[in-house]
Each structure stands twice: as structure tokens, then as C-alpha cells.
């Protein structure tokens, strides 16, 4: 009986994860000084297996990234690619489709990571929702300090905890 319950739980999580998806992101990179810098960063980001397309806005040092369907997105890899190009992430705003996503205590799981919604207590979460990752290394220090000063986290079962502001 216990095996059946575990199987049903895993099946439900698999079905839910397959329909839930990060769809796009707006990545602002600091330190870019020329078109060649932006191009080398774009080239590095295109090597990520979950990136479908990238549009670059050089005036604002922005990368508009579209993600592939049904391929888990890893924000840590995005940060590492930007840092590997010699720059840093100034802000990362992403869009997530919350249809069929189970949220418990303002947390949800995706791709082995845990996402904690910091200011979503009174918001309806269905369909595509835009949010900002406010962890250090993904947002300016003032933004991280504002949101993370009141956070008390527990260690995730696996992966990493990302903190999101809507």
C-alpha cells in the first residue's frame, strides 16, 4: 500500500511539473561596456540547453530570454554563464506559468529547486506571473536586503532555495 501511495505521489508530481514552465526571462547584466561584451555574453547564454532564443537590448544591457518547452530552467547556470563572461547579474525577472502548480506555504518546486514566494499571500497565482529573483547575485544588494531580511528558511530536500517577489 505504501508503494502505491509513493507511486501516485511521484506520478502526480511528474504530471504537474511537465505542465508548469518558466517561459521567459529579462536578464539585466552590469559591467557591459561595448557590443562585443554583450555579444560574448549572449553567445555564452545560448549554450544553455534550456534557452530557445535571446534578444539583446544594448541600450539597457538587457537580454530577453525565451525558454524551451519541457526543459527545466536553471537560474544558477544563467548566473554562472554571465560571471564566466566577466560580468554580473544586476537583475533577473522571469515569467512562470502557475497552471497546475501546487503551492504550499508560499513554496513550490521546479526542476529540483524550491521557490519561495515572499509577497504572494494575497495574490491569486494562476496562469503566467512575472516575478523577480531577489537572492544575492540575482538582484541589487538593496533589493536583496529589503526582501531577505525577514526570511527564515528551512533547508530544501534537494537543490537550492530561490526567493521570489511578485
pLDDT score for 122? 59
What pLDDT, in 10s, does the model give residues 74-113? 999 999 999 999 999 999 999 999 888 888 888 888 888 9
Q: Which three cell numbers stand for residue 91?
A: 537583475
Contact between 37 and 59 under an 8 Å Cβ cutoff? The reply is: no
Q: Which three cell numbers stand for residue 156?
A: 530544501
Task: Measure the CA angle with vertex 47, ends 39 and 18; round to 5°.
Answer: 130
Q: 3-class SS at 57?
A: strand
Averaged pLDDT score across all residues of the chain: 84
pLDDT over threshold 80, residue 123: no
10 Å CB burial of residue 39 (0-12, 13-18, 19+) is middle
Q: What structural domains and CATH numbers belong to the chain?
A: 2-165 (3.30.70.100)
The mean per-residue pLDDT over the stretch 110-131 comes to: 84
pLDDT score for 14? 43
pLDDT score for 20? 55
pLDDT over threshold 50, residue 17: no
pTM: 0.81
Amino acid at each position: 500500500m505504501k508503494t502505491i501511495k509513493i507511486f501516485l505521489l511521484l506520478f502526480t508530481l511528474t504530471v504537474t511539473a511537465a505542465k508548469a514552465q518558466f517561459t521567459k526571462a529579462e536578464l539585466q547584466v552590469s559591467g557591459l561596456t561595448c557590443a562585443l561584451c554583450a555579444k560574448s555574453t549572449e553567445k555564452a547564454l545560448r549554450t544553455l540547453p534550456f534557452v530557445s532564443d535571446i534578444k539583446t537590448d544594448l541600450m539597457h544591457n538587457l537580454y530577453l530570454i525565451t525558454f524551451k518547452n519541457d526543459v527545466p530552467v536553471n537560474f544558477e547556470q544563467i548566473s554562472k554563464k554571465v560571471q564566466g563572461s566577466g560580468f554580473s547579474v544586476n537583475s533577473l525577472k522571469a515569467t512562470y506559468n502557475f497552471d497546475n502548480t501546487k503551492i504550499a506555504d508560499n513554496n513550490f518546486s521546479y526542476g529540483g529547486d524550491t521557490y519561495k514566494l515572499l509577497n504572494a499571500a494575497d495574490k491569486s497565482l494562476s496562469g503566467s506571473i512575472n516575478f523577480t529573483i531577489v537572492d544575492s547575485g540575482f538582484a541589487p544588494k538593496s533589493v536583496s536586503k529589503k526582501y531577505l531580511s525577514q526570511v527564515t528558511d528551512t533547508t530544501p530536500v534537494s537543490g537550492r532555495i530561490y526567493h521570489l517577489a511578485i
